[in-house]
Amino acid sequence: MLKRLFALIPAGFTYLLAGQALADVEMRSSQWQMWLQKPMSESAVLVHDLNLGLMILETVIVLFVLGLMVYILIRFNEKNNPVPSKNTHNTMLEVVWTALPILILVVVAVPSLKALYFTDSNPDVEMNIKVNGNQWYWSYSYPDNGDIAFDSIIVPDGELKPGQPRMLSVDNPLVLPANTKIRFLIASNDVIHNFAMPSLAIKVDATPGRVNEVWTEISEVGNYYAMCSELCGVNHGFMPIHIKAVSKEAFAKWVEEAKEKFADNSSSDYPKTVRLAEAVNNAR
Ligand SMILES: [Cu+2]
């Protein structure tokens, strides 16, 4: 009995380590996570650093205001200050408490606008991806790679394979080359959806009738998970986004396979209504 228990220990460690490794490699939230996902693109690093800087600044301001309030409560209460001052104005103080917040906002605006312009568009992109939101799945197409087009539909709970995270896995992930500048052109076929990927600092509305743009350069090969981030109807929670970042060579190989696999899909908004209805019913 004891021997069998001991035999289980290495298996347990392997399980724990595998779980840990999965949490590190797979870009999704982990249990008790208190901070952002690890930034995996230049834009994400910029946004991450901006967030950290702002948090520090905000903490200093909150502590300063709290300190002032505590001081006023103690120093100027009725017991400690029985005869109140009759002063109502102090020009110097008023100038300072108007000018200082303006100055802080100007200081904050500089890195904010820098990050905003950097993440918005990049003239040197190497390839484009069209992203289309649908109720309730995503369609992707590759205009620069033989116009491959396919739908990406959630894997229902009963059909999950080992290693596929629940509610985040899809039948056809968005395969992308890592270390490549990619532009996403994002639109919708019905209502407003939102194409998001926390570890790449992407969150862009997919709006019917207009094309929104964002770019990225994924820094590492791996699986990246997210979900539609705009409440878009009853199955909003069942349209995950799975980006599978691969090496440039593996991507070139995948493109050749995908051209055959998705040969019947004439356009990106080709609706596989029957498959979708099944998937949605099973996921519920
Ligand atoms: Cu949606």
Distance 114 CA to ligand 1 centre (A): 29
Q: Over its length of 284 residues, how does the chain's per-residue pLDDT go in tens digits?
A: 445 544 545 444 444 444 444 444 566 777 888 888 889 999 999 999 999 999 999 999 999 999 999 999 999 999 999 998 888 899 999 999 999 999 999 999 999 999 999 998 888 999 999 999 999 999 999 999 988 999 999 999 888 888 888 899 999 999 999 999 999 999 999 999 999 999 999 999 999 989 999 999 999 999 999 999 999 999 999 999 999 999 999 999 999 999 988 887 754 444 454 455 455 555 55
User: 0.85 cut: is pTM over it?
Assistant: no
Distance (Å, rounded) from C-alpha 19 to C-alpha 54? Answer: 33
Report whether 225 contacts 27 (CB < 8 A): yes
- Co-location of 73 and 137 in the same domain: no
Do 109 and 180 belong to one domain? no
What is the DSSP code (8-state) at residue 237? G
150 belongs to a structural domain: yes
Same domain, 70 and 156: no
Is 11 part of any domain? no
CATH number where 272 lies: 2.60.40.420
Distance 238 CA to ligand 1 centre (A): 8
> In this structure, are 131 and 115 located in the same domain?
no
Q: Ligand 1 mean position to 81 CA, how many Å? A: 60
- Give distance in angstroms: CA of 229 to centre of ligand 1: 7
204 C-alpha vs ligand 1 centroid, how far in Å?
12
CA of 232 to the centre of ligand 1 (A): 5
- 234: CA distance to ligand 1 center in Å? 9
Angle at CA of residue 31, ends 216 and 178, nearest 5°:
20
Distance CA 6, CA 110 (A): 59
- Range of the structural domain that residue 135 is part of: 127-283
The Å distance, Cα 152 to ligand 1 centre, comes to 12
